[in-house]
Structure 1
Amino acid sequence: MAGAGHYLGFVLIGRLVQGIGASMTMANSYAIVTDIFPANQLGRAFGIEGIFISLGALAGPGMGGIILANLPWGYIFWINLPLGLVCLIVGSITYPKQMKSKKQKIDWYGAITLGLAAVSLYILTMQINASFVRMTALLIIFFGCGWWFITVERKALRPLLNLTIFQNAVFSKSIIIAFISFIVSYFFTILAPLYLQLVLNYSTQFTGLLLMIAPLISIFASPIAGYVSDRYNQKVEMTVGMVILIVAQLGLLFLTRRFEPYYFIAISALISIGTVTFGTPNNVLVMQSVPDKLRAMAGSTNSLVREFGLVLGTTISTLIFYRVLSLVGHQTVSTAIGVPITAIMTAQRWTYAVGLLLLLVALLIIIHAIRKGLRK
């Protein structure tokens, strides 16, 4: 549908349908893996899943570039048809056939209220340079929609999001920590290309190669992290991963254009290793902390906070970065192109400093959870 569209509106509708399908896949992947593999192999299973996620991150930009360079732009969407067909065939062959589920009614009221909250958040992200009054009004609308959604779900017989799942302390803390890590991870995703192209003046091609380092390292690090998760204390592994992420975040504060691109490569490697070392055992804890009947709910919640973290991380990093640029330049700035390098570096450091504070909060939550577990 998106590939056949000749108008922006038609393409956006197609992308909306794609997003719904992708959310269904992502929401159920954690639950399917947890149901298929025994508890003592779950870390390795998530580690192997991480390999394919990293392969997708590597292959996607490369395939997209080849398609756009040789074929009309619509084929960037058409390529999903044969790939999706292969996935359907493989899934129908490999998934267990004895697994049955009861048909349940969809909580449409909850879905509508959640949709309104998502739309209000989207509008909010599009108005980051708006006046204080408009931003405040949009924030009130967003939190109002969120409060409405929670109120609806508390009263629903079959809620879209079963809020009782958050009464589980292990699940709640693991989800909160994951949410913080997702937010901070997108600080680097947003700012790294600006640093490479506008500060270091690297070409688009070389920038793309450097940005592929993190997923490439994840391919090798994910199964190792999964193996460690199955054999040792998962909370300790999470702590080690978070410490690595904090060290990497500190390294981002000291980007000075010296020793490049080797310094950037080292930081990318640390971020990749820290992410899988933290993320794999965290996923195991999230899925094993809930009863079997709530696994799908736990997996979908994990996917929800990841996507919410993407949006919030993008919004917060962009807001801080351009607000600092505006303060340094004494005028409203909406693009980093043409801005002095010193201003870009200053805005970058302030943004990464906020990310560092968030990661420190996540580390404190992990340490508190470990200490509380030892006292029991």
Structure 2
Amino acid sequence: MVIVDGSIVAIAIPQISQSLNTATGATTLIISVYLITICATLLLFGQFGDQYGRVRIFEIGTFIFLLGSFVAGVGQVLELVLVGRFVQGIGASMTMANSYAIVTDTFPAKQLGSAFGVESIFISLGALAGPGLGGIILGSLPWGYIFWINLPIGIICLGIELVAFPKSKPQKAKGIDWHGATLLALAASCLYLLTMQLNVHVVVTVLLFLLMILFSWQFVRMEKRATQPLLNLTIFRNAMFRKSIVVAFLSFIVSYFFTILAPLYLQLILNYSTQFSGVLLMVAPVVSMIASPAAGYISDHYNQHIEMAVGMLILIGVQVGLLFLTGKLEPWYFIVLSAVMAAGTAVFGTPNSVLVMQSVPAKLRGMAGSTNSLVREFGLVLGTTLSTVIFYRVLSLLNHREIDTAIGVSKQTFLLAQRWTYAAGLLLLCGALFYIIYAIRKDRKHVRK
């Protein structure tokens, strides 16, 4: 549910925009505030989990997430929806920060690939099924139900957690790094405000960017001196952890380009209904249900770096294919790209998660898991921001005036702006592949020595 709610809003952007009488660009903040709240608090709740029990924090997070879902669904003005999304983000952060560590604590090392393969089913389902599920819901219900659908499912989940999950085993509390948490929250807040000001006020945008850099720098300085840091920076001295995190970060950025643009393409260019668009967007999660366990098996039995490289090559091929979305050969062209994208995501993501979690000692698993989740969510925030900025900036340049909504623009300018956006994503994925190949070659040289 928490992954779904990072993307389910995407397909509802045109409908919410019309319902709340706001531009599609502004409505995208409903996605951003959720993701940025998670970014601001993930490390904090990872530390909470390490000290007060990972399962306990996970369960509390589930309840808070449900509360936020109710508020977001009630909202009839943008501000109230954003408040609900903020509360949702807090709850989602509490679960995300501890899920990787709970899985790693439960399974032996030789089964981690398969375990993360199964977990990747639901991560992939959430990331890819959000727009599809949203489209199906919007086909017969008001947009508020894309949040309210969490309530009955979440109540069942919470009951199962309380009955079936192992009891928390908290360690002796060593203190929480509130100073680091505050600085991280300030940096994330600047990032959120920055996304609101892009393409609006250049001076304010520059100022917020500088403040974000300042708070981030202060956060790093604080963590170096803290007795119990939110982020133990020594974890990045581990080459395997560092390399895996970097390439994952780049892939997460690009994944949201498709999440933001695909629903607009289906509804505004192909004129498909939200319900049919939702069905098409469900292709990827269905394929991922098969691909993720297979990728997990491969990860347990073969070279994980090679598997990552193959997955990245597949994703690059898909990104090239997205450059040629023109409205022709549809919906089959879109279906094939979605299916191959799901396979590439599974083949890349599963071994990446295993490498991240196996590269650190047991006492740092909570921090490694929350850092992995933080990188994913921060990547999604940047993906949302970059895709939105590039897309609407190109639209504005082509129309010789400021454009902040995709509704009503010509098909030709829409497709050209979309192509430029996907081209930027292609460059990022090529950078990730280069880094993977560099890491493989360096590891081989080290083995020879």
Q: Which interval holds the TM-score relative to the shorter structure? A: over 0.9
Secondary structure in 2 matching 1:130: coil
**1:66 deviation in Å?**
4.8
Shift of 1:296: 0.5
Out of 328-337 and 95-104, give the one that drifted further. 95-104
| Residues 330-358 of structure 1: per-residue CA shift (max 9 Å, x gap) | 11111121211111111111111110110
**1:99, CA displacement in angstroms?**
4.5
Do the aligned partners of 2:138 and 2:274 also contact (CA within 8 Å) in 1? no
Instruction: Answer whether contact 2:131 2:281 (CA < 8 A) is retained.
Output: no
Q: Which runs of 5+ in 1 are unaligned?
A: none
Q: Report the equivalent of 2:420.
A: 350
Change (3 A) 1:135 1:375: same
Which position in structure 2 is the counterpart of 1:243?
313
What is the TM-score normalised by the length of structure 1? 0.92
Out of 180-189 and 190-199, give the one that drifted further.
Answer: 190-199
1:194 matched to 2:194? The reply is: no
Q: Is 1:288 matched up with 2:384?
A: no
**CA distance in 1: counterparts of 2:391 and 2:134, whole angstroms:** 31
Structure 1 residues 49-198: aligned runs within 5 Å: 49-56=119-126, 58=129, 62=133, 66=137, 69=140, 73=144, 80-97=150-167, 99-198=169-268
* Kept after mapping to 2: 8 A contact 1:240/1:277: yes
Q: CA deviation at 1:104?
A: 2.9
Q: Contact between 1:107 and 1:159, CA under 8 Å: does it hold in 2?
A: yes
- For 2:254 and 2:165, the matched residues in 1 are separated by 35
Q: What is the distance in 2 between the residues matched to 1:348 and 1:224?
A: 32
Q: Would you say the 8 A contact 1:187–1:352 is kept in 2?
A: yes
Unmatched runs of 5 consecutive residues or more in structure 2: 1-66
Q: Percent identity at matched positions?
A: 62
Residues 246, 359 of structure 1: 8 Å contact kept:
yes
Alignment root-mean-square deviation, CA:
2.4
The amino acid across from 1:35 in the alignment is D
Note if contact 2:250-2:429 (Cα within 8 Å) is conserved in structure 1: yes
1:22-76 Cα distance to aligned partner (Å, 9 max, x none): 1111111111111111111111111111223345564896489659956894x76
Q: Does 1:216 align with 2:286?
A: yes
Distance 1:244 1:11, change over 3 A: closer
Task: State the match for 2:324 in structure 1.
Answer: 254
- In structure 2, the CA distance between the partners of 1:76 and 1:236, relative to structure 1 (3 Å rule), is closer
Q: Measured at CA, do residues 10 and 265 of structure 1 come closer, stay the same or move farther in structure 2, by a change above 3 Å? A: closer
Deviations 1:261-316 (A, max 9, x none): 11111111111111110000000000000111000000000110111111100100
Distance change in 2, residues 1:21/1:104 (3 Å): farther
Question: 1:83 Cα deviation (Å)?
Answer: 3.4
CA deviations on 1:235-277 (whole Å, 9 max, x unpaired) are 0000000000000001011112221111111111111111110
Q: Please, which of 82, 90, 97 is the counterpart of residue 20 of structure 1?
A: 90
Q: 1:335 to 1:11 in 2, by over 3 A?
A: closer
Residue pair 1:54, 1:216 contacting (<8 A) in 2 also: no
- 1:273 equivalent among 340, 343, 355: 343
Give how far 1:17 is off: 3.0
Measured against aligned partners, the alpha-carbon deviations of 1:135-183 in whole angstroms (never above 9, x if no partner) come to 2222111111211211221111101111111111110110010000000
Question: Residue 407 of structure 2 corresponds to which residue in structure 1?
Answer: 337
